[in-house]
Amino acid sequence: MIQEWIGELVTYGLQNGLVDPADEIYVTNQLLALFGLTEYTVPAERKLPRKISHILEDMTEYGRQMGIWQTDTITQKDLIDTKIMGLLTPPPSVVRKQFWRLYSISPEKATDAYYRFSQATNYIRKDRIEKDEKWVVDTEYGPMDITINLSKPEKDPEEIARAGRMVHAGYPCCLLCKENEGYAGQIAHPARQNHRIIPVNLCSETYYLQYSPYVYYREHCIILNDRHVPMKIDRAVFAKLLDFVRQFPHYTAGSNADLPIVGGSILSHDHFQGGRYPFAMAKAAYEFTWQLKAFPDVHAGILKWPMSVIRLQAEKADSLVQAADRILTVWRKYTDQNAFIFSETEGVQHNTITPIARRRGQLYELDLVLRNNITTEDFPMGVFHPHAQYHAIKKENIGLIEVMGLAVLPARLQKEMAELERRILAKEDLKESELTAVHAQWAEQWIAKYEITEETIHAIVQKEIGNVFVKVLECAGVYKRTPEGRAAFHRFLEKL
Ligand SMILES: [Zn+2]
């Protein structure tokens, strides 16, 4: 059978543009060598290949039975099937040439093909992504997206903060470093023989474009610094984000904030995230607009959004960079004790910004989300962080993706919600199960509100999870949407 599967895999490579017809015999021979085979019968006819995950499953299992490798865990299996796909994946030089050839026709053609390529190589594991549960919840801020992610492990905010302070000495330094391209991996670091990155020039600095292997949303891309340097929000970041959307006008690009608690999961390697997805935040309306006196060609407004967002628009990207830099500079040093905003305590900085850039027709647009990572005895994980009563659903940092209106929830929730639904229908005590005890108090708040049946329960739970997501975004908002909060927001705007 292995000969048949090798033929099937090469056919898959040919059909998906991974293998050039000129390389067919060469790639076949590489695969034979991987399995220690010296004989091969060329198949009489080409059969339609199965799904890539099925072909790879059979091949890795064959190798295990023949004693070529061990595949006791998913991590080991991933190392092996990536090694196999690496033999089908063209070298970076070929992939980059193809990307820029298409880019010269249109940026959209280039990213379309590169996205398809990243799935065809199994770098994006479509079979796993398809298992993610996704739904939309209507809220007062518009339709918010929720996804229960089943392909990436949950990270503890404390662990993220610790990793951010660590000096890396390994190779590759981290999961984002360019040295991952083609890397064989090991138990503690994923294999990337099938991974290819595209160099992009942002304000005369080298960055690389790649897709996230976990694709939380359509064409979820990562734009990483050439060097392993820490995240830092500054004027240059605003300019780089705008330079990216200038070159890829069909994409959004944003950056996580540069401080723990309010930042993303990797603070140690400067990177942005973008993609081609209409996030709820992009559709949010203005609550009010005003004019920044020093920047007459910049239109400014506050968004109707659970977090505190200033939206800037201008025809010239440079005007936006200057206005954004002014807001960041003032915000970094801004303290308003009445609103519990402290720019620093004991020399530790708290204020930062999560910026998001996009094009709106001919205009450049920049959303600046004001962030503060102060902690207190009452809120040891952060005052502007999901509060304890919501931790059973979401305790992780509110990063860039959540800020934009897409909740990425941990895999454990799927099991817990299934059991919660079963117990509610059976009228069993939620506190009796380990899976549902942490959700009991929350569920009791809404059970009585609904007519619950087998048909309606799943949608009700989904809706209530969406309501929690709105609450945790409101927790992360530095200015609450109350008369006092609005007045405090205006006090800040006056300083600009
Ligand atoms: Zn790195």
List pLDDT tens digits, range 143-157: 999 999 887 655 556
Residue 224 CA to ligand 1 centre (angstroms)? 8
- Residue matched to tokens 């059976």: 426
Residue 225 CA to ligand 1 centre (angstroms)? 8
* pTM of this structure: 0.94
Beta strands in 234-383 (DSSP E): 252-254, 271-275, 286-291, 299-303, 309-314, 344-345, 348-349, 351-360, 363-372
Residue 157 CA to ligand 1 centre (angstroms)? 19
Residue 138 CA to ligand 1 centre (angstroms)? 38
Residue 180 CA to ligand 1 centre (angstroms)? 9
Residue 383 CA to ligand 1 centre (angstroms)? 30
Dihedral of the alpha carbons of 373, 328, 469, 304, in degrees to the nearest 10: 140
CA 327 to chain centre: 26
- What's the CA gap between 465 and 118, in Å, rounded? 32
Contact between residue 177 and residue 269 where contact means Cβ atoms under 8 Å apart: yes
What are the pLDDT digits (tens) for 26-66? 999 999 999 999 999 998 888 899 999 999 999 999 999 99
- What's the CA gap between 404 and 305, in Å, rounded? 9
Q: DSSP secondary-structure letter at 43?
A: -
Strand pairing class (406-409; 142-148) = parallel
Per-residue pLDDT of the chain (496 residues; tens, 9 = 90+): 999 999 999 999 999 999 999 999 999 999 999 999 999 999 888 889 999 999 999 999 999 999 999 988 888 999 999 999 999 999 999 999 999 999 999 999 999 999 999 999 999 999 999 989 999 999 999 999 999 988 765 555 665 676 565 554 589 999 999 999 999 998 889 999 999 999 999 999 999 999 999 999 999 999 999 999 999 999 999 999 999 999 999 999 999 999 999 988 889 999 999 999 999 999 999 999 999 999 999 999 999 999 999 999 999 999 999 999 999 999 999 999 999 999 999 999 999 999 999 999 999 999 999 999 999 999 999 999 999 999 999 999 999 999 999 999 988 999 999 999 999 999 999 999 999 999 999 999 999 999 999 999 999 999 999 999 999 999 999 999 999 999 999 999 999 9
Residue 228 CA to ligand 1 centre (angstroms)? 4
Residue 196 CA to ligand 1 centre (angstroms)? 16
What are the pLDDT digits (tens) for 212-258? 999 999 999 999 999 999 999 999 999 999 999 999 999 999 999 99
Residue 448 CA to ligand 1 centre (angstroms)? 50
Residue 271 CA to ligand 1 centre (angstroms)? 9
Residue 380: Cβ within 10 Å count:
10
- What's the CA gap between 385 and 421, in Å, rounded? 28
Residue 193 CA to ligand 1 centre (angstroms)? 17
